[in-house]
Amino acid sequence: MAVKQEIKYLTAVKTEKRQKKYCRFKKMGIRYVDYKDGEFLKKFLNDQGKMLPRRITGNSLKFQRKVAQAIKKARQLALLPYVTDLLK
């Protein structure tokens, strides 16, 4: 029986290395998420205006909460829509 590692495939097994996610706030030393800055907050919304989850934005828990608070404040002040289509 062929030993497992001796098996050769015709085409190389493609395992593309997924780029390690990082928290942009920690990396760039941002300490405060400004709720007035709509453009910056839009990066954390999908095109329906809904908040992106942490596994997609790659934020750390602490900053994901700060971003969530800032987005809710911005929505309250009509800087960001609650729901829309083709936000970007």
Partner 1 sequence: MNYELMVIFTPVLSEEDYKVAQKKFADIIKDNGGEVTHENPWGLRSLAYPIQKKTTGMYLVLEYTAPSDLNEKLKIQLNRDENVLRHMVTALDKYAVIYNNRKRHGANTDSKTVEA
Separation CA 42–CA 71 (nearest Å): 9
Residue whose CB is less far from partner 1, 37 or 53: 37
Residue whose CB is less far from partner 1, 53 or 81: 81
Quickly tell me which residue has 């390690």 as its tokens.
20
Q: How many residues bind partner 1 (CB under 8 A)?
A: 20
Separation CA 66–CA 68 (nearest Å): 5
Structure-token pair, residue 3: 């030993």
Q: Among residues 17, 18, 31, 55, which is the contact residue for partner 1, using CB under 8 A?
A: 31
* Contact residues: partner 1, CB under 8 A: 28-32, 34-37, 40, 73, 75-82, 84
